[in-house]
Amino acid sequence: MKNILFVASESVPFIKTGGLADVVGSLPKCVDRKYFDVRVMIPKYTCIPRELADKMVFKTSFYMDFHWRNEYVGILEAKVDGVTYYFIDNESKFGGPKPYSGNVYDDIEKFAFFSKAALSAMPLLDFRPDVIHCHDWQTGLVPVYLRERFQGNDFFHGIKSVMTIHNLKFQGKWDVDSVKDITGLPDYYFTSDKLEAYKNANLLKGGLVFADAITTVSETYAKEIMTPFFGEGLDGLLRARQNDLRGIVNGIDYTDYDPGKDEYIDYKYTPQNFRKEKIKNKRNLQKELGLTENDKTMMIGIVSRLTDQKGFDLIAYMMDELCQDDVQIVVLGTGEEQYENMFRHFDWKYSNKVAANIYYSEEMSHKIYASCDAFLMPSLFEPCGLSQLMALRYGTLPIVRETGGLKDTVDPYNEYDSTGTGFSFANYNAHEMLAAVRYAEKIYYDRKREWNKMIDRAMAADFSWDVSAVKYQEMYDWLIG
């Protein structure tokens, strides 16, 4: 049996702000359990809902030197769907209403603590990982600390590390002196071939330099991040490490996202009966959101963090024009105020066509995936994207920009050979986006049989973890040797 420990800042079902949590929570279940025991370690945030916190059992605790103090570290454990989770507890570090405070210094301090505590806790678990699999900048210090102070110890000797990039935009950067002070790492680590980048200390860079292997969440994004536009200043390092870098496309949990069994939706449906059943969900959602009740009107969904990454500048620019068409637009998201207000404005201006739901709700997200006809995701960049995979699974055809994982997972409609599972456009340009939406409208209104055949293909596409989990297994085998 090979032991793998995921170390991450979020995981479903305990805590989620985006796709990272979906991946960390679903991949361990899909790795072949005959050969691999994959466990997960995350912080015990005080904002984890009570009923989930109640599942955790206290294991042990100790004190650890960190940032000039002696800090408490509690370890708790829980088992969900056969996967063992460990939690690192310290209420002063993981308090607050959200996992990330948004204050970079505080977050760096918090996750430096988490990274060091995670390693310090490992010898106290009855589980010695062969591979520590780290996710995003919050755990970038794990491979660094592993090399710097833990690998000398017998327990850690030979343990390998992997760094997975879910989003290169976020790196955990702050001035060198503060980070030196927080982490206690010696000067030697703060040079441009290690943690330093453009005069700052950079936690993700540390992880990318010291991890034994690097992955990211789609093949296209793996190529993109080696170029200056997508590289966020680290493209040189990624080119230098390209032999250790692989792109493995994400999957989604086919049990949680299953239109045939989904408890959140009013009318369940399958590839066999979606033609009759799916539309009933649309009818209900129109009623619930106060939109014009009309089966025929094309409904376009958006479920997203409202940030510039997701292409909302294009949408803002085209909303007025798009609202002249016979469409309805249903948005669910939270994030930057300018985008929240933009959608509120159009909801007010076109109240029977636009529904802006500016909040977070798992239930509403499932209703939107199930009820809409199309799903819009015109991202500026997209490491993988899970929403379009969820949309495909629910037979809601994605309209996407050809970047990162969107390019790898949505097959654009080709009317000549009748292939494809969605619609796409190449350039980050509002007119191109509108043209793609209008092309989709045309097929939806004028060629319904073609549209339904696309739904057949979309629902048949397999983005479960089956294929990608095997690629992670191959990497673990290769690392462990």
Positions that interact with ligand ADP (CB under 6 A): 18-20, 22, 303-305, 332-334, 360-362, 365, 384-387, 390
Binding flags for ligand GLC, 153-192, as an x/- string (CB under 6 A): -------------xx-------------------------
Binding flags for ligand GLC, 208-227, as an x/- string (CB under 6 A): ---------x----------
| Residue placing its CB nearer to ligand ADP in the complex, 321 or 362 | 362
Tell me the residue number closest to ligand ADP, measured at CB: 19
| DSSP-based three-state secondary structure for 38 | strand
Q: Which of 13, 19, 301, 311 binds ligand GLC (CB under 6 A)?
A: 19
Residue 74, binding choice from ligand ADP, ligand GLC, none, Cβ under 5 to 8 Å by partner class: none
Does 365 contact ligand GLC by CB under 6 A?
no
Does 335 contact ligand GLC by CB under 6 A?
no
Give me the least distance between CB of 355 and ligand GLC, in Å please.
24
Residue 143, binding choice from ligand ADP, ligand GLC, none, Cβ under 5 to 8 Å by partner class: none
C-alpha distances out from residue 101 to 80, 95, 386, Å: 27, 10, 24
Q: Which of 386, 399, 434, 436 binds ligand GLC (CB under 6 A)?
A: 386
Decide: residue 361, CB within 10 A, 0-12 exposed, 13-18 middle, 19+ buried: middle
Give me the least distance between CB of 110 and ligand GLC, in Å please.
19
Q: Which long-range contacts (CB under 8 A, 24 or more apart) does 145-148 make?
A: 145/115, 145/116, 145/119, 145/183, 145/185, 146/119, 146/210, 147/210, 148/185, 148/186, 148/189
Contact call for residues 84 and 56 (beta carbons, < 8 A): no
Name the nearest CA neighbour of 165 among 143, 196, 191, 190.
Answer: 143
* 299 membership: H or E segment, kind and range: strand 298-306
Residue 217, binding choice from ligand GLC, ligand ADP, none, Cβ under 5 to 8 Å by partner class: ligand GLC
Window contacting ligand GLC (CB under 6 A); options: 113-121, 206-214, 379-387, 449-457: 379-387
Does 408 contact ligand GLC by CB under 6 A?
no
Residue 334, binding choice from ligand ADP, ligand GLC, none, Cβ under 5 to 8 Å by partner class: ligand ADP
Q: Provide CB contacts within 8 A for 382, sequence distance 6+.
A: 221, 309, 310, 400, 401, 403, 404, 405, 406
Does 383 contact ligand GLC by CB under 6 A?
yes
| Residue placing its CB nearer to ligand ADP in the complex, 375 or 444 | 375
Contact call for residues 371 and 281 (beta carbons, < 8 A): yes
| Residue placing its CB nearer to ligand ADP in the complex, 115 or 387 | 387
Window contacting ligand GLC (CB under 6 A); options: 84-92, 193-201, 376-384, 448-456: 376-384
Cα separation, 77 vs 323, in Å, equals 50
Does 206 contact ligand GLC by CB under 6 A?
no
Cα separation, 237 vs 404, in Å, equals 19
160-165: strand order across its sheet = 57-66, 69-80, 83-89, 36-43, 2-7, 131-135, 160-165, 213-216, 245-247
Q: What share of the chain is helix, strand, coil (3-state, %, to 5)?
A: 40, 25, 35
Window contacting ligand GLC (CB under 6 A); options: 126-134, 351-359, 381-389, 439-447: 381-389
Residues 289-328 binding ligand GLC (CB under 6 A) are none
Written as six digits, the tokens of 19 are 């796709």
* 161 membership: H or E segment, kind and range: strand 160-165
Residues near ligand GLC, by CB under 6 A: 18-20, 23, 166-167, 217, 250, 382-386, 405
